[in-house]
Structure 1
Amino acid sequence: MGVPDVYFNSWSESFRRPFGAVKIGSMIYFSIRAAGSTITKVDLMIQKDGEQTQEQHMARSSENDSLYYLKFMTEGKAGLYFYHFRISYLENQQEKSVFYGKAVDNYGGEGRAITDPAQIEQYQITCFDHRDPAPDWYVHGVIYHIFVDRFFNGDWYRRILHPKKNTFIYATTEDLPYYIRDKNGDIVRWDFYGGNLNGIIDKLNDLKKLGVSILYLSPIFEASSNHKYDTADYFRIDPMFGDRKIFDKLIARARRMGIHIILDGVFNHVGADSKYFNRFSHYGDGGAYQDLSSKYHDWFTFHGDHDHYECWWDIADLPTVNKEKQTYKDFIFGSENSVVDTWTAAGIGGWRLDVADELSDTFIAGIRKAVDRHDQNENDKVLIGEVWEDASNKISYGKRRHYLDGGMLHGVMNYPFRTLIIDLINGKINAQQAARASFTIKSNYPRDTLFANMNNMGTHDTERIFTMLSENEKKMRLAIWLLMVLPGVPCIYYGDEAGVTGGKDPDNRRFYPWGRENQKILTMFREAIKARRTDENLQIGNFYSFSIGLVFGCLRIQSKDRYTLFLLNPTLESITLDLDHLIDETRGDLIRHCLKGMLQTEKKIEAQSFRIDQTN
């Protein structure tokens, strides 16, 4: 007699079906294998998020006395369930328990049995209210993220449009970014290169040739800084970038070329130097800082006097707005002339919400409603949120977030995939760990969200991907193709395709090296983007990750006759593939079936290389 032998796999439909996230009200079928003659009962311990744990007794199969099963109905509002199993048994006439939860790596799939209930890591079920797919133009596209000041100056003589007082302009576009700070570390002189909207218009043909179909612009509204996350006027294009006429021209030109524009919505905070706060009196006598009777005063939280106020991350330049004030909600999204309505009506494809963690669910839902008002056709606009972690179970300020329940965000910035790409290629994780990490995201996210996530290898907030890969071109090629193969919409940070390097801010915000691009890397991007844009399997095919020894694998499949297989060898040694080393986390036969055909012709993958095969 001893501890029962227990096995469960949340990714295998032999043990839990249907797979992954489900619509609330769905029935879920659980099975678990528990072998042992002394077992007295098996219970599913399941908890709706925020509620008490339920004990659901599992019945023993009449055909297999080691198999226990249960049907469970999800109910109530959309949200999360968490669950594990308790297996009770007798030992020396005493009743004891063993528990089965997630593995020690805290991923889903195959778990582990433990005797200490305090060590249980529970499995997750994501329940959404309704399907909420992003527009086809978005899901099938490739995004290019432009930091406007650093991209291109469209003036014929390269003159800087409307330079700001008390700032400096770099002597050449090859100068490295640099901050001038005071003794407290605050930036006292903002730096500019002179990129503008006309510059983007001038380069639309280049972007089209690269293969991108979506432009995501860093903030373009009036602000003191070069990055524009300190908004001064939501209804005015920053004069250094252009004006409304030039913006409309950009929208029209891009539309004719089949390119959509996504704007950056920064609604959690504004600039201290803004018409709303006006700390430095650049906007007359009004504003919350200057005038207690200002219509903007109750948007902000002051402590004692006007010099002490709530600000984002304690950055005085970024006073935080009270998003629960109805006047602010109306200003951003709740009226026909709101910020979101005004710019969405101008013809943009959608928004990316800055620091979505700082916005309440009701605030995001309000923005989504305003965006949807401007759908020319059903499901024409997209709304993406900046979330750095797994957005399905995110807790922010002590509250569980419901971004993905339906009617809020279509998707989020997929930073977990960025980490996976870098760590796999740099050898910090192995192929099986990468497979488990990616499959956990798949199982936690609604399918529509998984395909709508904005996947990136770098942004204005991170080190450049080429730098993270030690400027190794072989590694870079692997990263580029992995970005195109993983589920979600690939997003290229401007200059990555040119081989731009850079560490943390501001070094990651160098000017684009026009005429000095790394042509080898540029060719890599063009080839990979073309594959992504022409292979529908890579856009909407179901996703399975797996490992064969040290090789990471990805299957994107629409049917048994329409699929694409991708195998990546990140190591420094060539590898001969052996199906006996296949680890399929679903414990099914689909991946093995698809691999058999691929490996009939060639079983070797060279060091730091990949293989991609399409079957249609």
Structure 2
Amino acid sequence: MGVPLVYFNSWSEQYRRPFGAVRIGSVIYFSIQIEQDAAAEVNLMIQKDGNPFHEVLMNQAADESRRFTCKFKTEGTPGLYFYHFRITFQEEGNVQTIYYCKAADLYGGEGRIVSDLSQVEQYQMTCFQYADPAPEWYLHGVIYHIFVDRFFNGNRHKQMLHPKKNSFIYATEEDRPYYIRDKNDQIARWDFFGGNLSGIIAKLVNLKRLGVTILYLSPIFEARSNHKYDTGDFQKIDPMFGDEKIFKKLVSKAGQLGIRVILDGVFNHVGVDSVYFNRYGNYGSGGAYQDASSPYHDWFTFHGDRDHYDCWWSITDLPTVNKAKISYQKFIYDSEESVVDTWTETGIGGWRLDVADELSDGFIAGIRNALQRHEKKGEHKVLIGEVWEDATNKIAYGKRRHYLEGGMLHGVMNYPFRDLIVNLINGKINARQAVRSFMTLKSNYPPEALLANMNNLGTHDTERILTVFQESQRKLGLAVWLLMALPGVPCIYYGDEAGVVGGKDPDNRSFYPWGKENQQLKAVFQEAIHARRTDPHLQHGAFYPFSLGPLFGCLRYVSMNQFTVLLVNPTRDSVNISLGQLKDETNGSLLRSCLQSLDLNGDRSEPMEYHYYHFDRS
């Protein structure tokens, strides 16, 4: 007995509408094509995350299209639904059951038939509470990520303020970062170059010329390390960086140039050398380690004695805070004197939350509520989380996370996009694989979150992007244009535009090469940033990835009469552009119509070349 031809495409509104993530309470229409008369019963098998399956009988269309259709209403709380199709058919008295589910590559869109239920990989449908857009100033911006100690020393004669005990200062700004470790592989001496807040103020005009509208700063609060993720005192700027007066000056000066400042909120853990824990007694006789009666003592979880305690990823230098403690919540966000309120009051644009997966949904919602208190006084604030995977289906510590479903995060750091860009340009995936992966992410994320994600090519936690591309400027050029064209807010890691190279931490944190920038590469960044800043399609247009043979394309559009197309050739070969090679993953007509308007047939694309088309018939 033969298996019938079955077709469903989760990205085509001919088969599932509306597209992608939906608001809870929405009615979803499903349709599946079965090219055989013998189908006896077709069921949509759908389940709310963690609940049993719900069977929905699909009805055969009255015409001769051989389609089976049904509708399903999402109900209750927001979250994820997962679904596949069960098809029973008979021929010559024999009955067989098959299943239609996601393809073997685990992406959405076109799926596959399997006969074994254990092989079923389900489609995902995200349901959010309500549309939760980020502020317009953020969505239309370009971010510059500064590792403060490594950017610029703005003091006269480059004097270093308040150098820390048991640390060392590099002899020149060209020195490569290096950790000095003890016999237990712990960092014995923290190293510093001397970058500070005054240095950022001194370079604001340079950043403005580059096209930057938002500064995302690595942590600035007092801490022993150079990176400051081991907070010593949330209420004090690190003396090596400056003080509160200098910080307010930075916010003010940046604001005069149309640049907002986003701070790094590190609220999951603190430093072992902090006023809260105080293992070494550098903060007097108080702190959880020194005094069991300290008001901070119950913020931490000790095991047997004071030398054994919960810490982040077993790093004893970073004691984990119990975020369920009411006193800690009040300290961080739930009072007018809280950390979030105090620093937001200075006029910053918002926060990026470190290790957001370590924070509960309630904790994140509390921070968001604190920011909204300040929105009554002026412009809207943004809240972004550090998440390395697809944030829509993230499970952390056995719990599904709901931080993109309304009232929590506006978006997350978009490491999946970074991985796709890198793998496409380095030849690890082809254009169609990239498209299918991009489409899966597009369909999983609420539309507002997709536009609000902080897209990056490199951060302080990754190798330098030029190093990832074997110092190929052509590859980096393609990546920068993709960064500016894809949905989300582009973020540049300081020095990437200047040609800085480096491996993993700490080599990726060298000092900015002032006066020695790669001007050719910087010009590429400026051109791509200018396109992003002046082309509204790239800022908020709908997103449609596609492939033309080996070429990867990205359509951003307002309508068929107004759109932008970026086409890149990530291969080592010259390619003749032909619309006959177009692969549209939704089987729609809009994409082909737009591309036909550009009259691309016969054009030639050279290796590692990009093509930027802006079309406006109006």
Q: Which amino acid aligns with 2:160?
A: I
Is the Cα–Cα contact under 8 Å of residues 372 and 379 in structure 1 kept in the other structure? no
Q: Which amino acid aligns with 1:32?
A: I
Paired with 2:191 and 2:602, the residues of 1 have a C-alpha distance of 54
Q: Which amino acid aligns with 2:572?
A: L
Counterpart of 1:275 in structure 2 is 275
Judge which range, 85-94 or 486-495, deviates more: 85-94
Paired with 2:278 and 2:427, the residues of 1 have a C-alpha distance of 50
CA offset at residue 607 of structure 1?
Answer: 1.2
CA offset at residue 385 of structure 1?
Answer: 0.2
4+ residue runs over 6 A deviation: none
After TM superposition, list the pairs within 5 Å mapping 1:16-415 onto structure 2: 16-91=16-91, 93-376=93-376, 380-415=380-415
Is the Cα–Cα contact under 8 Å of residues 577 and 600 in structure 2 kept in the other structure? no
Give 3-state SS (helix, strand or coil) of 2:42's partner.
strand
Paired with 1:275 and 1:574, the residues of 2 have a C-alpha distance of 61
CA offset at residue 538 of structure 1?
Answer: 0.2
Q: Which amino acid aligns with 2:547?
A: S
Paired with 1:338 and 1:487, the residues of 2 have a C-alpha distance of 34
CA offset at residue 600 of structure 1?
Answer: 4.7
CA offset at residue 95 of structure 1?
Answer: 2.3
CA offset at residue 573 of structure 1?
Answer: 1.1
Aligned length: 616
Paired with 2:291 and 2:552, the residues of 1 have a C-alpha distance of 60
Is the Cα–Cα contact under 8 Å of residues 579 and 601 in structure 2 kept in the other structure? no
Compared CA separation, residues 420 and 2, structure 1 to 2 (3 A): same
CA offset at residue 87 of structure 1?
Answer: 0.5
Give 3-state SS (helix, strand or coil) of 1:334's partner.
coil
Judge which range, 341-350 or 595-604, deviates more: 595-604
Paired with 2:269 and 2:456, the residues of 1 have a C-alpha distance of 24
Paired with 1:60 and 1:580, the residues of 2 have a C-alpha distance of 34
Matched residues, percent identical?
65
Paired with 1:117 and 1:601, the residues of 2 have a C-alpha distance of 45
Is the Cα–Cα contact under 8 Å of residues 132 and 406 in structure 2 kept in the other structure? yes
Is the Cα–Cα contact under 8 Å of residues 272 and 317 in structure 1 kept in the other structure? yes
Paired with 2:64 and 2:545, the residues of 1 have a C-alpha distance of 31
Paired with 1:575 and 1:349, the residues of 2 have a C-alpha distance of 45
Is the Cα–Cα contact under 8 Å of residues 134 and 379 in structure 1 kept in the other structure? no
Paired with 1:615 and 1:210, the residues of 2 have a C-alpha distance of 25
Is the Cα–Cα contact under 8 Å of residues 578 and 601 in structure 2 kept in the other structure? no
CA offset at residue 3 of structure 1?
Answer: 1.1
Give 3-state SS (helix, strand or coil) of 1:157's partner.
helix
1:188-209 superposed Cα distances (whole Å, 9 cap, x missing partner): 1000000000000000000000
Compared CA separation, residues 377 and 575, structure 1 to 2 (3 A): farther
Give 3-state SS (helix, strand or coil) of 2:418's partner.
helix
CA offset at residue 37 of structure 1?
Answer: 2.6
> With structure 2 as the length reference, what TM-score do the two structures score?
0.99
Q: Which amino acid aligns with 1:138?
A: Y
Paired with 1:64 and 1:22, the residues of 2 have a C-alpha distance of 31
Q: Which amino acid aligns with 1:509?
A: R
CA offset at residue 456 of structure 1?
Answer: 0.2
Give 3-state SS (helix, strand or coil) of 1:591's partner.
helix
Compared CA separation, residues 308 and 92, structure 1 to 2 (3 A): farther
Counterpart of 2:435 in structure 1 is 435
1:586 and 2:618 matched: no
1:496-524 superposed Cα distances (whole Å, 9 cap, x missing partner): 00000000000000000001111111000
After TM superposition, list the pairs within 5 Å mapping 1:529-544 onto structure 2: 529-544=529-544
Structure 1: which 5+ residue stretches go unaligned? none
Paired with 2:436 and 2:421, the residues of 1 have a C-alpha distance of 13
1:523 and 2:529 matched: no
Is the Cα–Cα contact under 8 Å of residues 577 and 601 in structure 2 kept in the other structure? no
Paired with 2:159 and 2:91, the residues of 1 have a C-alpha distance of 84
1:571 and 2:571 matched: yes
Is the Cα–Cα contact under 8 Å of residues 142 and 489 in structure 1 kept in the other structure? yes
